[in-house]
Structure 1
Amino acid sequence: MDMRPDLMDEREVLTRFKAGSLERGQAVRILTTLMSVGVAESVPTGPARTAPPTVVATAEPERTAAPRLVARSAPEPAAHTVLDAEEAGGADAETATDGYAVVGIAGRYPLAADLLAHWQNLRDGRDTSSAGPVDRPGGTPLATGQRGHFLSEVAEFDAEFFGLTPAEAALMDPQARLFQETVWEALEDAGCTGSRLDSLTGPDGRPRAVGLFAGVGAADYALLAAEGWARGRREMPSSGHRDLAVGLAARLRLSGPAQAVDSAGTSALDAVHLAVGALRRGECAAAVAGGVELLLHASRGRDAAGEGVGAIVLKPLARALADGDQVHAVLRETAVGGPTRPVPADAAGRATVVRETHETTSRRIGDAGAATGIAALTSAVLQLRAGVLAPTGQRTAPVAWPRPRDERGRELPRTAVVELAAAQGPGIVGVLEEFLPPADSAARPEPARTAAARDELVLLSAPTPAHLTALAARLADWLAPAAPGGRAEAPTAPPALGELARTLRAGRAALPCRLALTVKDLPQLIAFLGEFVADPEAARDGRIRSADLRAGAADPYALAGAPETRDYLAALWRGNRLEQLTRLWLSGLPIDWAALEQRTGAGAMVVPLPSSVFLRRPMWLGDARVTGAPKGSTEEVGAAMEPTG
């Protein structure tokens, strides 16, 4: 069978992959080659910039007809003809290759420490405004009588988690610190902080080929430092915004392009646009994009000011499905100037998409500056995912959002448009669709280990014992249906035990403080987690084990360097030798769990789970409380941020 890319198109590659005649690695490599060829022929520079088209206004976002994808100015995986569903073998053929999957998402917004709380605020139409915070080190940024939308605890940061000293963290712009935590949470949500991150290789073969694009504009921390300098303090944070992208990429050891963007209110959406362009050109295998805005200095104080931070992780949709990623939504297009696709309309001529704009975002979280774009995009994703329209100025209560249907009665994905006007120059638009899994994209059956395989190996790790205990407590609370913040309040169905265990093994970094649980079902997992949290130091039987590798040498038998180790680990996994695998992992041996249990299809390898816990404490310029070193070795914690299996 001839595997030359020039003799196959995307459809044939996917057909052969689904039939089993192409392995996953071969299919991804050929698709990548096809993507590069399409880019070289059509887009020699960057993402296209187009003139704004005529846009149909919308008063009600319901829709009943299918959007026709007729043109593409936005970056996309490859150029191909859009056929009728029957000609293409069904709508699934197009869905499998067109667009960019949102595989990870995270954020913090006013009165919302995470996206679950933020969605509840959006759904309920909650007023998140308040008087200016008076407990910030720089004082309140608002005048008497003014109100704004603020984040809490912005002066706090978990330096120890990221291997930084408190003194180093105090010199970082709080916006950079907040964005760093949010990017890590988004990568965890994407299952990309463990060995799956290393498997994302770039055109030069280097691992961790993840681009990082940050929208940011404010420099209030530098103003506060300058005022302190005038009073005799000699502390000055680094100038500019490069730390939000270039510095963070270096700390996370990412090898893709990194860029900070300052285009005022469109900064974050411009960052998304650049991320898609980098993916299209093959400069990275995945990309993180987002933005952040904090109001820390009274010179920018204004009524209805807002704050926020958010990040998404993007992959080409075909790659995401091949990797078994969860897909929150599909980004079909980004364009500077306006969309090139016609606005979908039903037979009556009514526009059929939801629009997220600066105005709708400001009503919810205030004028959030550089974070406006990521806040609007996040609102669109959350509504698409829930199938519920959040209140707006015209809609006072949440309403169900039915899927449109085509002329044959088939359900079609919901669509949302994020559209931001610029104060100067052209605006920017992003078109998102709900992800409807293709009928044949279900996860392939997991290879059988043994007939007696009943237990699951659940692995947790963290940089310190305190972080590990807090993570175990968070997971136990999340799994308990009646607990605040637990499963009863989550928008998705609870994961099966096998899905949960696989996500934690393959999608999370292996940090030095480790906990291994061998369990038969979710109730037993909750019980074991509670037992560990109650007394982390207690001696237990073989089903609850922990290890602290900060002081001792990891992989004491040097198995990681032996060429036979990979086959040995694979044999242990096939034989369901969980006891031996547990001991090896607790000893520090790097184990590529993703390679041992790779599965394809949406959500086959990653399901939504709680993120790691940050143990934050105040860190600010001139704060005497940040002069001491954290407990444990910061260098060891920093080195442990490299996934080791």
Structure 2
Amino acid sequence: MNNPLPVVAETDVAIIGMAGRLPGADDLDSFWRLLVEGREGITRFSREELAAAGVPTRLLDDPGYVPAHGVIPDVDLFDTGYFEFTPAEAAITDPQHRILLTAGHAALEHAGYDPTRYDGLISVYAGAAINTYLQQQVLPHVDQTTTSRHFAVMVGNDKDFLATRLSYKLDLKGPSYAVQTACSTSLVALHLACQGLINGECDMALAGGVTVKLPQAKGYLYEEGAILSRDGHVRTFDADASGTVLGNGVGVLVLKLLRDALTDRDTVHAVIKGTATNNDGSGKVSFAAPGAAGQTAVIREAHTVSGVDPRTIGYVEAHGTATSLGDPVEVSALTRAFKESTADTGFCAIGSVKSNIGHLDAAAGVAGVLKTVLMMKHRTLVPTVNHTTPNPAIDFAAGPFKVSTETAPWTGEGPLRAGVSSFGIGGTNAHAILQEAPPAPVTGDAHRTRYPLVVSARTATALAAAAQNLAAHLDGDDPAALADIAYTLAVGRRAHEYRIAVTGSDRAALARALRRTPVPERPGPGEVSFAFTEDVPDAAGLADRWAAAEPAFTRHHEAALAAGADRFGERGRAFAVQYALGKLWLDWGLTPAAVHGDGLAARAAACVTGALR
């Protein structure tokens, strides 16, 4: 069944893939659970943990020391073999480079694309935070007396090589840019990626950011009036707000023009209707202070370029640092931008993911986008944790905003829409307007009764893990059609040396088959041969079953019968079934390295290859 494509704007951009590792959530499923349950992902360390990490006793004894930080696990782990790093190369490479590379690969897999089989240009726009690994782990221990060693250290750690490393390792041939605007880095990267797509510079783009500051087990000294929280909790828009908490994390989005994504039948998670960036200039109290005029202007511009009426926006993911100056300035700027189009009050929910996971610096903006997209997909608003009493410096009653304080359905008369803000120290502001994805088209494979799933990996251990992970996924609540899952596994995954394939008629059967299928001890030959035989029990019944499952089979089978195959009796019917299967597999793109058969079956082999007509 073919559904007509919805009418879209030429500048609409689709988010077709996502990946993230965030404090308290090692993947997007666990991130959603954290959000919907209203939990914090910030870690509070014991004195013993901090002492073991090297925090001086004088700090541990200071009553103003706050033992809180947002961490992600296993930052020291990296699959050197998969990404073709030597152990020495990986050891001197900034974990931010390694973690962003892993997330970029995961995001492309989530989008269903193997870059080596994609004909278009894929770009990268990404940034990172300050490199503490170089200072603490590399320079004190690596001999840089040789030019080659010095060069290796530079390439493994400089921000300049962050995005191009992804392009090199993942074989991406579109423009590749490192983006650096402090806290707004990853949302500015999203803006630039959208511009690259709209301007025709690329066909697909990765956009995101990463922050990994080491050591992870650490806290900070609270200072009155500074940006860090008094008690290690981020209380955005709250009367007791005293600042933010820093954290580590990574997020990557895969983007494509919406019209192309719909044509290519990609899964669209959300639509970017428009983005804008600007800078505050000098019109503020200090270099690091927020600028109300700049924030108002960037939000207004995003509304204009997106063509979206602010009255239709049901949620704003705020920068929301919970500082005494930042929150009131931000809500005031938002209110002014909204009031240019509507005087209505209290219709738009507002929140900030920083209340859950802290401030992720270069990854802060993309974290807000990931949260907002997940809320749209689930049509659910999530609470701004630690919020009990509104900040008295913010006049919520006179404006369009109300703080989202509980998990609740997100409804609207039209498509759900949201704004996402990210403001960088130094004044580079970014704002994006998102809209929920259009309805997914109905899959055209409702006739199929069995589905083939193929899984591959570079090692037997990795293949076993991949098979078990896929089985667990099939046992979950993913609504994706089995036909779409089978297609993505076959086309949207890179084919590796160790492989298994299973078939089944439903999720439970496929999950059982994945768990039971033995993993090969050595790689397969990487080639396929077609073997034809005269002995095919119940060829007529087999033909009926294939005809019911695959309409294309019927066309080839009838052609073989019309050519006189059935005059040979049971052997001829076997010939016809195998010929039709062989032609069907060729239609699917399966090219055999060899084709052979015995007796009359040799004719089927010759006909399939075209050697005999």
Q: TM-score, normalised by structure 2?
A: 0.65
Say whether 1:113 aligns with 2:26.
yes
1:281 is matched with which residue? 199
1:324 is matched with which residue? 265
**Per-residue CA distance 1:93-121 (angstroms, 9 max, x = gap):** 54364410000001000111100101111
- CA positional deviation for 1:399: 1.1
* Partners of 1:578 and 1:470 in 2: CA distance: 34
Count of residue pairs brought into register by the alignment: 443
Say whether 1:139 aligns with 2:69.
no
Contact 2:453 2:486 in 1 (8 A): yes
2:319 to 331, 344, 357: 357
* Partners of 2:194 and 2:488 in 1: CA distance: 26
Q: Return closer, same or farther for 1:477/1:254 CA change in 2, 3 Å cut-off.
A: same
Map 1:442-521; keep pairs closer than 5 Å. 442-443=441-442, 445-446=444-445, 454-480=449-475, 486-487=476-477, 493-521=478-506
Contact 1:265 1:372 in 2 (8 A): yes
**Per-residue CA distance 1:6-61 (angstroms, 9 max, x = gap):** xxxxxxxxxxx988xxxxxxxxxxxxxxxxxxxxxxxxxxxxxxxxxxxxxxxxxx
Say whether 1:177 aligns with 2:98.
yes
Q: Return closer, same or farther for 1:147/1:323 CA change in 2, 3 Å cut-off.
A: same
Say whether 1:530 aligns with 2:444.
no
- CA positional deviation for 1:199: 3.4
Q: Return closer, same or farther for 1:136/1:434 CA change in 2, 3 Å cut-off.
A: farther
5+ long unaligned stretches in structure 2: 61-65, 221-227, 229-244, 279-297, 322-351, 388-402, 530-551, 558-577, 595-613
* Partners of 2:158 and 2:74 in 1: CA distance: 23
Say whether 1:154 aligns with 2:75.
yes
- CA positional deviation for 1:473: 0.6
Contact 2:317 2:368 in 1 (8 A): no
1:397 is matched with which residue? 406
**Per-residue CA distance 1:348-395 (angstroms, 9 max, x = gap):** xx9743333243232221121101011111111111111111111344
3-state SS of the aligned residue for 1:156? Answer: coil
Contact 1:514 1:586 in 2 (8 A): no
Q: Return closer, same or farther for 1:428/1:584 CA change in 2, 3 Å cut-off.
A: closer
3-state SS of the aligned residue for 1:357? Answer: coil
* Partners of 1:269 and 1:102 in 2: CA distance: 14
2:534 is matched with which residue? none
Higher helix proportion, which one?
Answer: 2
* Partners of 1:582 and 1:513 in 2: CA distance: 25
1:188 is matched with which residue? 109
- CA positional deviation for 1:262: 1.5
- CA positional deviation for 1:172: 1.6
Q: Return closer, same or farther for 1:231/1:198 CA change in 2, 3 Å cut-off.
A: closer
* Partners of 1:299 and 1:459 in 2: CA distance: 41
3-state SS of the aligned residue for 1:157? Answer: coil
3-state SS of the aligned residue for 2:516? Answer: helix
* Partners of 1:574 and 1:105 in 2: CA distance: 42
Report sequence identity in percent: 29
3-state SS of the aligned residue for 2:126? Answer: strand
3-state SS of the aligned residue for 1:102? Answer: strand
1:311 to 252, 256, 274: 252
1:293 is matched with which residue? 211
1:7 is matched with which residue? none
Give, as a single letter, the amino acid of the residue that structure 2 aligns with 1:123: V
2:420 to 401, 418, 421: 418
* Partners of 2:67 and 2:468 in 1: CA distance: 39
Q: Return closer, same or farther for 1:118/1:183 CA change in 2, 3 Å cut-off.
A: same
1:593 is matched with which residue? none
Q: TM-score, normalised by structure 1?
A: 0.62
Q: Return closer, same or farther for 1:108/1:447 CA change in 2, 3 Å cut-off.
A: closer
* Partners of 1:314 and 1:498 in 2: CA distance: 23
Say whether 1:272 aligns with 2:190.
yes
Say whether 1:214 aligns with 2:213.
no
Contact 2:6 2:438 in 1 (8 A): no
- CA positional deviation for 1:523: 2.2
Say whether 1:257 aligns with 2:175.
yes
1:126 to 39, 52, 77: 39
- CA positional deviation for 1:571: 7.7
* Partners of 1:367 and 1:402 in 2: CA distance: 29
Give, as a single letter, the amino acid of the residue that structure 2 aligns with 1:536: V
Contact 1:159 1:165 in 2 (8 A): yes
- CA positional deviation for 1:497: 2.4
- CA positional deviation for 1:212: 0.7
Q: Which has the higher contact order (CA 8 A, sep 6+)?
A: 1
Contact 2:209 2:362 in 1 (8 A): yes
- CA positional deviation for 1:582: 13
Q: Return closer, same or farther for 1:223/1:503 CA change in 2, 3 Å cut-off.
A: same
**Per-residue CA distance 1:155-187 (angstroms, 9 max, x = gap):** 111112222222222122111111111111110
Give, as a single letter, the amino acid of the residue that structure 2 aligns with 1:105: M
5+ long unaligned stretches in structure 1: 1-16, 20-91, 202-208, 406-411, 481-485, 488-492, 538-545, 558-566, 590-645
Mean alpha-carbon deviation: is it higher for 213-222 or for 162-171? Answer: 162-171
3-state SS of the aligned residue for 1:306? Answer: coil
- CA positional deviation for 1:479: 1.8
* Partners of 2:446 and 2:522 in 1: CA distance: 30
- CA positional deviation for 1:200: 3.5
* Partners of 2:429 and 2:118 in 1: CA distance: 36
1:371 to 359, 363, 366: 363
Larger Rg: 2
Contact 2:415 2:436 in 1 (8 A): yes
**Per-residue CA distance 1:253-290 (angstroms, 9 max, x = gap):** 11101111111101111111111111112111000000
* Partners of 1:529 and 1:110 in 2: CA distance: 32
Runs (4+) of structure 1 exceeding 4 A deviation are 132-138, 140-143, 229-235, 297-301, 570-589
Give, as a single letter, the amino acid of the residue that structure 2 aligns with 1:433: Q
3-state SS of the aligned residue for 2:82? Answer: helix
* Partners of 2:310 and 2:464 in 1: CA distance: 52
Q: Return closer, same or farther for 1:580/1:322 CA change in 2, 3 Å cut-off.
A: closer
3-state SS of the aligned residue for 2:318? Answer: strand
Mean alpha-carbon deviation: is it higher for 332-341 or for 287-296? Answer: 332-341
1:614 is matched with which residue? none
